[in-house]
Structure 1
């Protein structure tokens, strides 16, 4: 019983200044360990939330002092991963909270299915994804992070690796080669790319009534299919076993009619099909509830056409049957400086896997301009921003990536341009009219302050403006960048000594 375990632990560990709360936590872990029984499934993960193996318990408790941790239960290894697999992308879908080790967590059957499917690269709910799909079994994915962290850049890589499931398709290929392949797939409409904005609507996305002028001067109001509806029918056509025989491309309307005919007569079989990718840039800028409407349910993995529990609906304008096929991947990007994940529509959050993309300083390690290490500069800038606002408003590495490989004089000129045209405007937006906090980030050498000269007893603000350094003032510009780095370093050292 837990009370007895707690007392034993307290007697043993009390000399080490451990709190009752900590000892109680250890007692909970021990209780859960002894509850594990023959036939239970086990997931082994590390402090980075990487799955190392999955197993099944096949024995009772044993004490074996040959092991560093002698309290053991024998297991049969179901899968041992050569490269530990990250389970962070599916954490938000789990019913139980996954804490960092050392701990024991009792998961639900649904949690096991989610993690095991993700870890093994299988999707038992639909037969569309092949064995090599691995981490891309998630049909709905959002890449989120601060501006400039390469979210849109990464959607292209992910799209290509889904369509070409060979291991590491993008590895070793130069960017122009990848972009050529991406553009070919855009032309073939196997990939679609759109950007959400405030005025984007259900009518643009699914279907809507659009006025159309006729040669005789009359105006008609036909129902026009939106871009997402078009791609759903294109992808669904590939899923249906029976195709229309033709020597040339039969076109969207013919494919759509064929799919609708099969759905209406319930006369179809599905097969493994080529993946289609729908990329939504800046997904959080649109009104998700209005754009997706009632179709938000249909994008769930097990509600898609081709899955075991697939659903269909009837659209309000055309009265046509509509489905979302299981070979259609949705990849979104989200700028957290615009909007936090916490503010996203709950229905959307529940149906998407989220993958965080933060500034990657390693990509800047080798870029140094006249002694200015860009990785160090960005690290210190972001430290200040995080302290004053939060980590969602950091500055991404991609702003500086174009400086890589440039000759020294060209690099200096471009760095000044990036600083004043990209970095400063972004910071001014973050700290709008708050010059005191902006000066804490930038260093006072980049900010000019002038006392107001109005006479009389007025409550007037001082006048601030950004100080611009031209190319021939490089040494002054460099000195102020170094000051940003030095001040942050001094602050870090002071805190570490407290």
Structure 2
């Protein structure tokens, strides 16, 4: 599906009508390797091999806002004086970088009468804005009127331009890297205007278990392509992980597969299931008891079983020769309880 090093075959896209940019949200259960897929040059988008000057990352959170995403007018001390200037943030930096590279290449191709166009795949002008945990922030507030730029036309530019905030517009013209190609930008977009170029890619990740933080409206959702990242151990290091419980080792893969079936039965939803990379080993392929308790068992109790306690919860084991339910706190009161739970959970079915 994806080409190595995120090389975009522009001629193929022209022939098929597919866009030459990515505006995608990768979604799935926690720990399925969504961020890893963005970086993976073999099975993903290949950002690991992209120069640092062409990739920009941010993580949304509940207090994240437009000023943190785009930029804001802020004070700065210079000697004894306090001055004010626009301080660009991740979107502004990615926007300026993308337009500069696009306009430089456009000028270069025009100067050569497009003779070299067939040998220029465009991979070196692609710019990537990566938004981790996109649904943990209020997208409507964060994007503001930039939301309108997400609609692309047949040439993969924004279909509509918007007016930039005056501080942002002044920075683009006078202080950003765009000043070296300002005449070309002004001709293409307009002074004080914003429009996404076709080489600006937006990739985002979303944990399905966190969808309730800030629900996205359908208007925002439809401006992205959605790619589901399934839970899969095939060909991955996580298939080798072992959980060490007081000297006894248990297969992480087998644990995940059994627990995910129970989560689906209990919640009738896949959103809370565990991904293969939900936890990383302490060393080598071994996951320690303390790490497993604090990260995996607490997640299962807090996000899945707590509200279902004694009503179908799979937090149960034989205690004093009687099968009974237990709480997360009980795992610390009874040092043998976790091993009993694992033995019974992973015991071969008869």
User: Could you give the per-residue CA deviations for residues 233-270 of structure 1, whole angstroms, max 9, x where no partner exists?
Assistant: 1111111147999xxxxxxxxxxxxxxxxxxxxxxxx9
Provide the residue aligned with 1:392 in structure 2: 271
**Alpha-carbon shift at residue 222 of structure 1 (Å):** 2.7
**Alpha-carbon shift at residue 297 of structure 1 (Å):** 2.4
Correspondence for 1:191 among 40, 46, 55: 55
**Alpha-carbon shift at residue 339 of structure 1 (Å):** 0.8
For residues 216-295 of structure 1, the aligned pairs below 5 Å read: 216-217=80-81, 219-241=82-104, 272=122, 274-295=125-146
Provide the residue aligned with 1:420 in structure 2: 293
The Cα RMSD (Å) is 4.2
Residues 203 and 239 of structure 1, relative CA distance in 2, 3 Å threshold: same
**Alpha-carbon shift at residue 340 of structure 1 (Å):** 5.7
Residues 282 and 159 of structure 1, relative CA distance in 2, 3 Å threshold: farther
- 2 CA distance for matches of 1:415 and 1:439? 28
For residues 94-493 of structure 1, the aligned pairs below 5 Å read: 122-124=12-14, 137-157=20-40, 162=45, 181=49, 185-186=51-52, 189-217=53-81, 219-241=82-104, 272=122, 274-302=125-153, 307=156, 310-318=159-167, 319=169, 320-339=192-211, 343-362=215-234, 363=236, 364-367=238-241, 372-389=250-267, 390-400=269-279, 402=281, 406=285, 411=286, 414-431=287-304, 433-434=306-307, 436=309, 440-444=313-317, 464-468=327-331, 477-486=338-347
How many residues end up aligned between the 2 structures?
298
User: Could you give the per-residue CA deviations for residues 27-81 of structure 1, whole angstroms, max 9, x where no partner exists?
Assistant: xxxxxxxxxxxxxxxxxxxxxxxxxxxxxxxxxxxxxxxxxxxxxxxxxxxxxxx
Residues 149 and 158, structure 2, Cα contact 8 Å, conserved in 1: no
| Segment of structure 1 superposing worse, 327-336 or 370-379 | 370-379
- 2 CA distance for matches of 1:208 and 1:327? 25
- 2 CA distance for matches of 1:120 and 1:222? 39
Residues 149 and 160, structure 2, Cα contact 8 Å, conserved in 1: yes
Q: Which runs of 5+ in 1 are unaligned?
A: 1-84, 87-117, 130-136, 165-177, 246-269, 447-461, 491-498
Provide the residue aligned with 1:457 in structure 2: none
- 1 CA distance for matches of 2:164 and 2:297? 47
Q: Which runs of 5+ in 2 are unaligned?
A: 3-7, 109-116, 170-191, 320-324
**Alpha-carbon shift at residue 337 of structure 1 (Å):** 0.9
- 1 CA distance for matches of 2:95 and 2:300? 41
**Alpha-carbon shift at residue 480 of structure 1 (Å):** 2.0
**Alpha-carbon shift at residue 312 of structure 1 (Å):** 2.6
User: Could you give the per-residue CA deviations for residues 343-381 of structure 1, whole angstroms, max 9, x where no partner exists?
Assistant: 323222111111112321434545566563332221111
Answer 1 or 2: higher relative contact order, Cα 8 Å, separation at least 6: 2
- 1 CA distance for matches of 2:139 and 2:146? 11
Residues 225 and 404 of structure 1, relative CA distance in 2, 3 Å threshold: closer
> SS of the residue aligned with 1:386?
helix
**Alpha-carbon shift at residue 288 of structure 1 (Å):** 0.7
For residues 15-26 of structure 1, the aligned pairs below 5 Å read: none
> SS of the residue aligned with 2:313?
helix
- 2 CA distance for matches of 1:352 and 1:209? 30
Query: Normalised by the size of structure 1, how large is the TM-score?
Result: 0.51
Residues 322 and 480 of structure 1, relative CA distance in 2, 3 Å threshold: same
Query: Normalised by the size of structure 2, how large is the TM-score?
Result: 0.69
User: Could you give the per-residue CA deviations for residues 418-475 of structure 1, whole angstroms, max 9, x where no partner exists?
Assistant: 32121122123214743625872232359xxxxxxxxxxxxxxx995533379xx78x
**Alpha-carbon shift at residue 139 of structure 1 (Å):** 1.5
- 1 CA distance for matches of 2:158 and 2:15? 8
**Alpha-carbon shift at residue 387 of structure 1 (Å):** 1.7
- 2 CA distance for matches of 1:159 and 1:324? 28
Residues 121 and 149 of structure 1, relative CA distance in 2, 3 Å threshold: farther
**Alpha-carbon shift at residue 194 of structure 1 (Å):** 0.9
